[in-house]
Amino acid sequence: MNIFLYGADTFRSRRQLRKMIEKFKMDRDPQGLNVVSLDCTKDEDGKIMEQVLATPFLAEKRMVVLEKLLTATGKGDLQAEILKRIEEKGLDENNVYVFWQDVGKPKTKAGKELLSRLLKEKYAQEFEEIKGIKLSAWISAEVNDRGGKISKHAVDSLVQNVGGDMWLLNSLLDQLIAYKNKDEIMIEDVNLFVEEKVDDNIFNLVDYAVSGQTKQVYKMIREQYRIGKDPHYVFAMILRQFRILIEIRDLYEREDNMSSDVMAKKLGLHPFVVKKSLPFVKKYNLDSLKKIYSKLLDLDIKFKTSSGDPSLLVDVFVGSLNI
């Protein structure tokens, strides 16, 4: 059996690999005598082939993990040999061969051919970088699986400020859950552990939206798509920014002498975000912000219930700004 785990999200692919190894040991090899992991960027060809061809020791099956074989330097002959054995069924069919690969493309002809062959395997699984609404869902599910609870605003903050760095997110979730001790993780808690990032593009986009400059809004949204931002992510950031502006504007109208630091504490926001938002807040009235936010909430429902192209729904929102 050949298994191919690959993709940019090395956290999830590593975790899947670890689960597979643990299950193999539990079911077939409690002492771990028949599981071997090889780093093909470091181990010699001879050692690798010796382990690939070795028979199980006092067991029916053996698991061999080959890491980074496709992109390892100077491994063209090894890649060609393993490809030949896969195609000619020269590997023990009772054994489990796991090919783990991170980012990067094969440079050798044999490496490219081996990649093409592995992609056809029944057990080939890609781990793409997850973004936007999928990342939000992953965070919520992870916290729940680890016995914790987290608010939507806290999830949004992690998506905004950490993004798809799954290794960092994994560490932060453990810290936040331990810190809250089964209480719900709120945005204020996230702010204690994460320095908030402020995207000037989102501020400028919102500014154009409120002033009805739809051409500029279209242009900026298309630029976000061009640099690889998911439509769900772009929409989530716009929605979040309008919510923040409404909260700040509402508080500003009631207590206009309040300092930005005090505002930040009252609203559970990072002080820098409040300072960055205040010049924009003073330009807008609360009714105009609420009017646009209402359109965004309607669109949010459509996002969650429609199977259509999310970028088209965002375009509908932009078009409504002139109405």
Q: What is the DSSP letter of 307?
A: -
How is domain 2-126 classified at the architecture level of CATH?
3-Layer(aba) Sandwich (3.40)
CA distance 270 to 261: 9
**SS3 sequence of 120-167:** CCCEEEECCCCCHHHHHHHHHHHHHHCCCEECHHHHHHHHHHCCCCHH
Print pLDDT tens along the chain (323 aa): 899 999 989 999 999 999 999 999 888 887 778 889 999 988 899 999 999 898 888 878 899 999 999 988 898 999 999 999 898 887 888 889 999 998 778 889 999 999 999 999 989 999 998 888 899 999 999 999 999 999 998 998 898 888 888 998 998 999 999 998 889 999 888 887 886 555 667 777 877 887 778 888 888 888 877 777 777 777 777 888 888 889 888 888 888 778 888 888 888 777 777 887 888 788 778 888 888 888 888 887 877 776 667 777 778 777 777 64
How is domain 200-320 classified at the architecture level of CATH?
Up-down Bundle (1.20)
Upper half-sphere CA count for residue 165 (Cβ side, 13 Å): 11
pLDDT of the residue at 136: 92
3-state helix, strand, coil in the chain (%, to 5): 60, 10, 30
**What six digits make up the tokens of 116?**
């093409």
Contacts with 114 (C-beta within 8 Å, 6 or more apart), sequence order: 69, 70, 79, 80, 82, 83, 86, 106
Domain spans of the chain, in order of start: 2-126, 132-193, 200-320
CA distances from 272 to 28, 198, 250, 278 (A): 55, 8, 18, 10
**What six digits make up the tokens of 228?**
């690889």
CATH of domain 132-193: 1.10.8.60
pLDDT of the residue at 322: 61
